[in-house]
Copies of this chain bind each other. A is one copy, B any other.
Amino acid sequence: MVNRIFLIAVIAGIPLSVLGSLLHWPSLIMFAVYCLTIIALAGFMGRATESLAIVAGPRIGGLLNATFGNAVELIISIFALQAGLNGVVLASLTGSVIGNLLLVGGLSFLIGGLKYKRQEFNVYDARHNSGLLIFSIIVAFVIPEVFSMDMDEGKTLTFSVGISIILILLYLFALFFKLVTHRGVYKHKTDEAGEHEEPEWGAKKATLVLLLATIAVAYVSENLVHTFEEVGETLGWSELFIGIIIVAIVGNAAEHASAIVMAYKNKMNVAVEIAVGSTLQIAMFVAPLLVLLSLMFENNLTLVFTMPELISMVTAVFLTIILTNDGDTNWFEGATLLAAYFIMGIGFYLL
């Protein structure tokens, strides 16, 4: 039923997106077309990654989800960086962090929790991820903010580049740890659950769907970005609000879709891996990669967020850690994460 609606939305949405952008249809209409198309495409991506996740196991599956979700954001950010819109880049990084932790995580816990009284996931993975969240957000993002107050621009950039190299190195070490030296060392009773399920699509078909949907999402997303200015003026939204809230919701639609599907199927390991793993990929890979790539452009990017952005990320990390560190979720924990997201959303709307 939902799958059929999504198929129709994709079959109708992609040609409409191409046509509308060529014929310069009104921004507000195209904004709606783009959003719906992306959400429908995200549905396909969710099904494809779910099939691959069943084939490849929950951990690699979660990694796949996070990678394909953030490819879109990386592409958008590179275009924004090239245009010198550093503020929008930092805002969309912030939006991805709080969106993944609070909105994706919150919806997963809430919707999964409406079906199941208590959902468990691998507590070792949760603690491993908590350490990386503290490292990337609390250490690697807060330190340059505070130190840069006593530094000139050149030193701030040098510091950002140094931190970026360390972040990417530790991200690679984390993959090596998870996939090579400690693969299967930290097991949990829920890790077996659902692995006997049959995948909807085979590995080849799933990969093809995932690939095509990713390309289509990237194309539509880029068009979507160009409607933001006019939509912002029409609806009275600031660029900061669009960057942090709208880009995050639409740009992470793929994660939303698949995390919620996984939570609804009680595969909380994958759902949490998507929400937190995607955040870590943004903070430890996308953000530092953008800093390093910016060295090729005129406007260099430093890891110095605005205070509201930084405090939002920091408080989102503390809330996520305290709620996930027991390896157990319920609907109320989802509601708490969503309430925190609404508070930040109202704040950025009013700024």
Contact = CB atoms under 8 A, between A and B. Distances in A.
A176 B323 CA distance: 18
Given A159-B350, A308-B150, A322-B134, A139 B343 contact: yes
A307 B146 contact: yes
Contact of A158 (B130, B170, B335, B350): B350
Interface in A147-179: 147, 149-151, 155, 158-159, 162-163, 166, 169-170, 173-174, 177
A9 interface: no
A255 to B, nearest CB: 22
Interface of A is mostly: helix
A330 to B, nearest CB: 6
Contact of A146 (B311, B330, B336): B311
A135 interface: yes
A149 B339 CA distance: 22
Interface string A314-331: 011011011100100011
Contacts of A247: none
Interface residues of A, number: 61
A308 B150 CA distance: 9
Contact of A169 (B162, B181, B339): B339
Nearest to A312: B143
Contact of A177 (B140, B177, B332, B340): B332
Given A127-B322, A132-B336, A181-B332, 19 more contacts: A117-B181, A117-B182, A127-B326, A134-B315, A135-B340, A139-B315, A143-B312, A143-B344, A149-B307, A151-B351, A155-B350, A159-B347, A159-B350, A162-B346, A166-B339, A166-B343, A170-B339, A177-B331, A321-B322
Interface of A: 117-118, 127-128, 130-132, 134-135, 138-140, 142-144, 146-147, 149-151, 155, 158-159, 162-163, 166, 169-170, 173-174, 177, 181-182, 185, 307-308, 311-312, 315-316, 318-319, 321-323, 326, 330-333, 335-336, 339-340, 342-344, 346-347, 350-351
